[in-house]
Amino acid sequence: MADLLSVAKLAGVSRATAARAFSSPDLVRPATREKVFSAAKKLAFRPNKIAQQLRSQATQMIGVMVPTLDNPVFAEQLQAMEVTARAAGYSLIVTTSEYAPSREQHIVEEMLRQRVDGLVLTVAEADNSVVLDKLRLETTPCLLVYNPPGNSGFPSISVDNHAASADAARHLITQGHERTGMVAGPLLQSDRARQRYEGYCQAMQEAGLTAHPLIEMALHTQADLAILRSALQGPDALTAVICTNDLLAISLMGELQRGGFSVPGDLSVMGFDGIALGQHLYPSLCTIEQPRADIGRTAVHTLLAMIRGENCMPAPLPHALRQGESVGTPTSR
């Protein structure tokens, strides 16, 4: 089996230069680097990555925690992160919290044991997080994704949830909806949903309209028509709802149609995320679109800058309104 010394001899360089070509290729002249790589290919030599990590005290691994992989929002984020990290020579360790704050501490502790070089986390509530309190005592760089920056002290990659939700409510108001509600999963498990509700309330109040109490579902992405049914009856029945994520909106549209309601005839439904699936439905989903891939790429670039010792406080990324057939003008009832 070929070793590093054999590669160095075939390339006509010292063993130290050959080692540097693999561990820090940017520090080796391109022509020399190509000689080393060519020799390694001829000899079928593979550098010992574990040994390199032990010498450098860096694993070239990033720990990533997301709530779930069922939601395409997180899947698209992770795909962009993996491509960007791989281009920089890093790998991802991915795990899910299942929206359970009790799991977060165990997950992060396990990733720290694996000596990850940095962490990218989506936690339940950034301003009240046991795991973030603990990470303030660690030296491992940590970055939040989708969580609002708040008072956690950790940099965050996200859209402005408050402003985006206010834009959603204003869009419905311009369509003539005066009785709009908001549907979410368990509020205590998502600071993003809480900010979106606050944005909705602000837009309704600015328009001189009543902001209705949040309608909470038992699960983040599954609607239960029984919980909503009373709000769809009587003279003050809602004519539109904003769901705090697209999967919840899609689930609600199905529940409404199975229950004999038409969308948008009886109720306009608006989502939040902009996943591709919403465009393939009939009616297509009107939603607030988050730049999921840009969020993933920006997260990796920002974390790598933090690993290099740079101070990073990124600004919110832009959101956009995506028109869809699930929103129409209210009908008189």
**pLDDT tens string 146-163:** 998 777 889 999 999 999
Closest to 64 in 3D by CA, of 22, 4, 99, 104: 104
Do 131 and 60 share a structural domain?
yes
Do 180 and 152 share a structural domain?
no
CATH of the domain at 142: 3.40.50.2300
Do 115 and 86 share a structural domain?
yes
3-state secondary structure of 210: coil
Do 105 and 43 share a structural domain?
no
Do 261 and 171 share a structural domain?
yes
Assigned domain for 102 exists: yes
Check whether 118 has a pLDDT greater than 70.
yes
pLDDT 10s digits, 269-292: 999 999 999 999 999 999 999 999
Lowest mean pLDDT among 5-14, 89-98, 167-176: 5-14
Do 110 and 252 share a structural domain?
no
Do 272 and 170 share a structural domain?
yes
pLDDT 10s digits, 213-252: 999 999 989 999 999 999 999 999 999 999 999 999 999 9
Assigned domain for 329 exists: no
Parallel/antiparallel/unpaired status of strands 180-184 and 142-145: unpaired
pLDDT 10s digits, 33-92: 899 888 888 888 777 654 555 444 567 899 999 999 989 999 999 999 999 999 999 999
Assigned domain for 12 exists: yes
pTM (2 d.p.): 0.80
Assigned domain for 328 exists: no
Closest to 157 in 3D by CA, of 293, 285, 13: 293
Check whether 115 has a pLDDT greater than 90.
no
Assigned domain for 29 exists: yes
Percent of the chain surpassing pLDDT 90: 66
